[in-house]
């Protein structure tokens, strides 16, 4: 039997499928397992009617994809963004399967979102949209079924609306269905910074592996949302010089190094949490971040940022992917020719889902940890996972991305084989 390979016009899904098929071919994985893991278990599309502040009704498209539940409940974020569609959600759900597997936590992969521009919505419109979406996906999510979390343009407030809506539908409190909640309402201390902290931990472990002291390293960070901001802060606290940060308003560069705490204060005071108007000693606003003179680059914005048009501009020797799928296969090939080491997304940014697992476990137990306990456990897992992939890549003489895929896919494949196919 030979497996018919799936193809996709969506760049992110095409990237996810190419990485998957490339890894399983090298692994010589059984064709039956390839056929199962190359497809998602469930894809849901819903209409989300929202009463706007002017009294009109606008209907948005919503999605939830569950790629795999072989190891445990599906896990993955919900994003509010104009580009959200079924293919994007499927690609990210598949990546979440490998991310959870590699992290060694008992989850499969899921992803969802609403196609909208949240910047044009009032707070009340966002609440009505969030609650309508939660009601639409309620039949397929649950503590032991599918556990969503925050993603692009969503956070603790949206998770509270989701949880509250489904709790009211069920007639009981359901804290374990959603993670990324505020500390004051079933949230977990340490969760907000977990993804960025994990990304930076991988960056620091990479520097250790190549024999570099963080204090002599220049860093650039694309994206200054939750992931990028805490990545930059952690690297700065470790002694690295952050010379460039960026968001949708532009790239802010200073050869002297940027005061990241000042940048945090700026976005906290900005009505839309943006870097717009930010200034610092030696700061200049430049067109793009790729050509900045930096040793270590963290792409923490949206997917596909480092591609065939931008990869050649990158001056960094090392890249740690903070976003999901920020480097395309074409960009990867260019970086490989340049000798750039890339730490893949589902290893580097798994701090978020590991943190979600911690929150979920605490919700199930009704017992909460200190932030110190949380961070200690997170760092222990992140360091162990980095070493696993680094050592595997070195022993097989393959890139870290391929090593991570192979290790992650094998664990899921073993469980699928163990459980068998339910007819």
Q: Which residues belong to the active site?
A: 111
Residue 120, Cβ density class (10 Å: 0-12 exposed, 13-18 middle, ≥19 buried): exposed
Cβ count near 195 (within 10 Å) = 28
> Checking phi first, is residue 239 left (phi over 0); if not, alpha (psi -120 to 50) or beta?
left
**What whole-number distance in Å separates Cα of residue 127 and Cα of residue 103?**
33
- Sheet of 218-222, strand order: 284-286, 250-253, 241-247, 218-222, 296-299, 318-320, 341-343
In terms of C-beta distances under 8 Å and separation of at least 24 residues, what long-range contacts does 273-280 make, across chains too? 273/225, 274/247, 274/248, 274/249, 275/224, 275/245, 275/246, 275/247, 275/249, 275/250, 276/249, 276/250, 278/252, 280/252, 280/254
Residue of 344, 330, 319, 317 whose CA lies nearest to 221: 319
> Checking phi first, is residue 57 left (phi over 0); if not, alpha (psi -120 to 50) or beta?
beta
The string over 362-386, giving b where at least 16 C-beta atoms fall within 10 Å of a residue's C-beta and e elsewhere, is bbeeeebbeeeebbebbbebbbebb
């Amino acid at each position: 039997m030979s497996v018919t390979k799936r193809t996709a016009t969506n760049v992110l899904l095409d990237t996810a499928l190419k990485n998957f098929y490339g890894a399983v071919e090298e692994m010589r994985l059984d064709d039956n397992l390839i056929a199962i893991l190359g497809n998602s278990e469930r894809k849901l599309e819903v209409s989300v009617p929202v009463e706007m502040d002017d009294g009109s009704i606008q209907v948005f498209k919503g999605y939830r994809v569950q790629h795999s539940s072989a190891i445990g409940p599906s896990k993955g974020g919900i994003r509010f963004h104009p580009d959200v569609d079924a293919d994007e959600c499927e690609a990210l759900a598949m990546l979440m399967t490998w991310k959870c597997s590699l992290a060694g936590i008992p989850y499969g992969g899921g992803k969802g979102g609403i196609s909208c521009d949240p910047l044009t919505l009032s707070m009340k419109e966002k609440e009505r949209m969030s609650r309508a979406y939660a009601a639409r996906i309620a039949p397929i999510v649950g503590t032991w079924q599918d556990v969503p979390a925050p993603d692009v343009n969503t956070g603790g407030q949206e998770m509270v609306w989701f949880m509250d809506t489904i709790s009211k539908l069920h007639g009981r409190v359901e804290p374990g269905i959603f993670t990324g909640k505020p500390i004051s309402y079933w949230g977990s201390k340490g969760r907000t910074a977990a993804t960025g902290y994990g990304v930076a931990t991988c960056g620091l472990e990479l520097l250790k592996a190549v024999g570099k002291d963080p204090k002599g390293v220049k860093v650039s960070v694309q994206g200054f949302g939750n992931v990028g901001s805490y990545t930059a802060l952690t690297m700065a606290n470790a002694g690295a010089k952050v010379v460039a940060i960026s968001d949708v308003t532009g790239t802010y560069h200073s050869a002297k190094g940027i005061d990241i705490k000042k940048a945090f204060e700026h976005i906290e005071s900005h009505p839309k949490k943006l870097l717009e108007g930010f200034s610092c000693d030696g700061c200049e606003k430049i067109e793009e971040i790729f050509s900045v003179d930096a040793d270590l680059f963290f792409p923490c914005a949206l997917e596909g940022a480092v591609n065939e048009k931008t990869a050649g501009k990158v001056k960094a020797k090392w890249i740690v992917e903070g976003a999901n799928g920020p480097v395309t296969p074409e960009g990867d090939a260019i970086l490989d020719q340049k000798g750039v080491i890339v730490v893949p997304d589902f290893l580097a940014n798994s701090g978020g889902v590991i943190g979600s697992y911690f929150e979920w476990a605490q919700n199930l137990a009704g017992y909460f940890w200190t932030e110190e306990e949380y961070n200690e456990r997170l760092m222990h897992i992140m360091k162990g996972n980095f070493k696993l992939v680094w050592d595997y890549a070195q022993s097989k003489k393959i890139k870290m991305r391929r090593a991570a895929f192979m290790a992650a896919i094998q664990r899921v494949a073993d469980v699928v084989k163990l459980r068998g196919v339910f007819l």
